[in-house]
């Protein structure tokens, strides 16, 4: 073939095969790329310009025409298997094995994009039916829209040439959103300590998040911790009604305002406790308290009969000596004692008492009752103390939203998916394919001709990606631009 190279133009048709002589000469070839000089501003048809253009074109074509020539000993041999769309190595892998390829059933494999990249780098020779594939064969056989598209390969190659480690993104190998929410260590990660270090910079869990997490844990029923946590949180409330016998009646009725606030704070509890059905314990009958309603207590706690008598005996009944001033204050306080209050005495349960308090406060603060009686009520009760930040939060009609808010509910789309995990070049030295660690970024490949990802897509993909940024690689023919959508919170100055 080689000797037929020159003669007629018809045979010149496929003339890009090098003769043995040329092959041999190629071993001492330069690896420098000619520098590109200053460009001219406008063509003026001068001889000088033409000459320079010709020179530049000659350089260009000599670069472009160059064929890959490698020593056979430096080439890894592999075989393309079209049915599985995979490349199997036949000779021992090279240095690239540290970041590319995978083993299965005792064989070594490369994904098509990896194989094609290595072919382009002159490290790999892929055979099909015992004939070597050209780069063109590789492009045409390995790339297709239903596995790795040309654009995806362009992005892959671009990043690989820059030195990044690029792996296919496999959604199933990522921890599920659920597992991520629980911060569960990944089972296949043996380096638990490393994982912890990685996970720690994740945003501090907000109270709502932990609540959700503990609820989720409860659902899973795999940990003892959440249950005990639940009991602990419920305990203060049960004690206030259960062990009440020991205390003086007074503590049942603390000053009005704190009681209100306490009621406020235990708001979540009110979902479980119907105050209208919880009656006041009759402490006057001193002797026995009716057993607590078991439905108010956390599971597993059986209420016993509470005998108050021994506690009553231990109460210090000695008269306190007081100065006249103190006595006066005591008297005044006594007069204000809620228990003596006729209206309070008329209350049969907590709900009625709460209503009474509300009524009274409204009256005292001069809060126009009609504003609060209707269905539409003011956003905030001016009598309630609240911090500026909380107030701003409360009166903001349009709430600012988090990028990930509600993302868990979104379903993935066919059109948009994350293609690659990208690891930084400086990690190559101690990179482990089995434990690659947290990627530097994840790539989503899109086209300049296609649509811009909408909020839904951005939410869904960034949720899928977790705390790794999603980068959108927009391919415009030969050019690739990388864009990231970042969550942004408008800064807000608050003077309390």
Partner 1 sequence: MEAELQPQEERSPAPVVGLSLCDSAPLLWRLQDLKAVRSEGLVGALLGSLPRTPRQNVRLGRPLLLLPEEERLLGERGGAAALPAQNQEAAAGELQQRYTEEQQRSFEEQSVLALEDRESALVRAMTSSSGSDPASDEALQHRLLDLEQNFSFPRSALAVQLSTARAGLSHCPEARAFLEADWPIRAQRCPRREARFQVFRDLRGRGFFLTSAGKFGGDFLVYPGDPLRFHAHFIAICLALDESVCLLDVLCAARLGSNVKKTVLLCSPAPDGPVRYTSLQWSGMV
CA distance 100 to 111: 8
CA separation, residue 347 to residues 22, 181, 252, 336, 359 (Å): 106, 45, 14, 17, 13
Compute the least distance from the CB of residue 47 to partner 1, in Å.
14
CA distance 143 to 85: 10
Do 115 and 134 contact (CB within 8 A), yes or no?
Answer: no
Strand partners, 438: none
Of residues 380 and 477, the one with the C-beta less far from partner 1: 477
Compute the least distance from the CB of residue 43 to partner 1, in Å.
4
Do 94 and 76 contact (CB within 8 A), yes or no?
Answer: yes
Of residues 135 and 408, the one with the C-beta less far from partner 1: 135
Instruction: Output phi, psi for 440, to 5 deg.
Output: -75, -35
Of residues 71 and 321, the one with the C-beta less far from partner 1: 71
Compute the least distance from the CB of residue 109 to partner 1, in Å.
20
Of residues 140 and 326, the one with the C-beta less far from partner 1: 140
CA distance 48 to 19: 36
Compute the least distance from the CB of residue 162 to partner 1, in Å.
6
Compute the least distance from the CB of residue 45 to partner 1, in Å.
10
Nearest residue to 213 (alpha-carbon basis) of 226, 197, 201, 196: 226
> Which residue has 């496999």 as its token pair?
170
What is the DSSP pairing of strand 441-447 with strand 470-476? parallel
What's CA 328's distance to the chain center, in Å?
A: 63
CA distance 249 to 305: 19
Of residues 134 and 183, the one with the C-beta less far from partner 1: 134
Do 361 and 383 contact (CB within 8 A), yes or no?
Answer: yes
CA distance 22 to 15: 13
CA separation, residue 190 to residues 170, 195, 437 (Å): 19, 9, 11
Compute the least distance from the CB of residue 469 to partner 1, in Å.
21
Compute the least distance from the CB of residue 401 to partner 1, in Å.
25
Do 185 and 195 contact (CB within 8 A), yes or no?
Answer: yes
Compute the least distance from the CB of residue 481 to partner 1, in Å.
6
Compute the least distance from the CB of residue 186 to partner 1, in Å.
32
């Amino acid at each position: 073939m080689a000797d037929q190279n020159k003669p007629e133009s018809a045979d010149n048709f496929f003339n890009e095969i090098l003769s043995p002589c040329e092959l041999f000469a190629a071993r001492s070839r330069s690896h420098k790329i000619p520098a590109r000089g200053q460009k001219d501003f406008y063509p003026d048809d001068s001889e000088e310009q033409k000459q320079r253009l010709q020179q530049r074109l000659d350089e260009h074509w000599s670069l472009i025409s160059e064929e890959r020539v490698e020593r056979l000993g430096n080439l890894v041999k592999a075989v393309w298997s079209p049915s599985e769309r995979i490349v199997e190595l036949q000779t021992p892998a090279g240095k690239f094995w540290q970041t590319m390829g995978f083993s299965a059933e005792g064989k070594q494999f490369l994904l098509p994009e990896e194989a094609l990249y290595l072919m382009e780098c002159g490290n790999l020779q892929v055979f099909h039916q015992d004939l070597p594939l050209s780069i063109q064969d590789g492009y045409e056989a390995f790339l297709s829209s239903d596995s790795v598209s040309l654009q995806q390969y362009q992005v892959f190659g671009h990043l690989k040439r820059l030195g990044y480690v690029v792996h296919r993104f496999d959604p199933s190998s990522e921890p599920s959103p659920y597992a991520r929410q629980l911060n569960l260590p990944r089972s296949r990660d043996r380096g638990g300590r490393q994982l912890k270090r990685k996970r720690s910079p994740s945003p501090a869990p907000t109270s709502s998040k932990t609540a959700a997490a503990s609820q989720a844990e409860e659902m899973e029923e795999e940990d003892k911790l959440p249950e005990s946590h639940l009991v602990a949180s419920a305990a203060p409330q049960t004690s206030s009604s259960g062990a009440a016998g020991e205390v003086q009646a007074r503590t049942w009725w603390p000053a009005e305002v704190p009681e209100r606030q306490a009621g406020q704070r235990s708001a979540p509890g009110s979902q479980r406790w119907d105050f209208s059905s919880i009656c006041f314990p009759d402490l006057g009958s001193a002797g026995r308290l009716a057993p607590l309603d078991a439905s108010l207590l956390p599971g597993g706690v059986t209420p016993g009969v509470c005998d108050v008598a021994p506690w009553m005996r231990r109460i210090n009944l000695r008269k306190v000596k007081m100065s006249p001033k103190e006595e006066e204050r005591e008297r005044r306080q006594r007069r204000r004692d809620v228990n003596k209050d006729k209206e309070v005495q008329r209350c049969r349960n907590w709900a009625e008492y709460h209503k009474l308090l509300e009524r009274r406060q409204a009256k005292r603060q001069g809060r126009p009752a009609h504003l609060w009686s209707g269905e539409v009520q003011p956003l905030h009760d001016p009598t309630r103390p609240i911090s500026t930040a909380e107030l701003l939060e409360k009166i903001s009609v349009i709430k600012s939203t988090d990028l990930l808010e509600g993302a868990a509910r979104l379903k993935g789309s066919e059109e948009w998916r994350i293609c690659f995990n990208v690891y930084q070049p400086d990690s190559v030295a101690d990179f482990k394919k089995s434990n690659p660690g947290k990627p530097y970024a994840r790539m989503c490949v899109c086209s300049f001709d296609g649509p811009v990802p909408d909020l839904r897509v951005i939410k869904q993909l960034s949720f899928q990606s977790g705390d790794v940024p999603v980068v959108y690689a927009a391919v415009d023919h030969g050019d690739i631009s990388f864009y990231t959508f970042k969550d942004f919170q408008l800064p807000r100055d608050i003077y309390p």
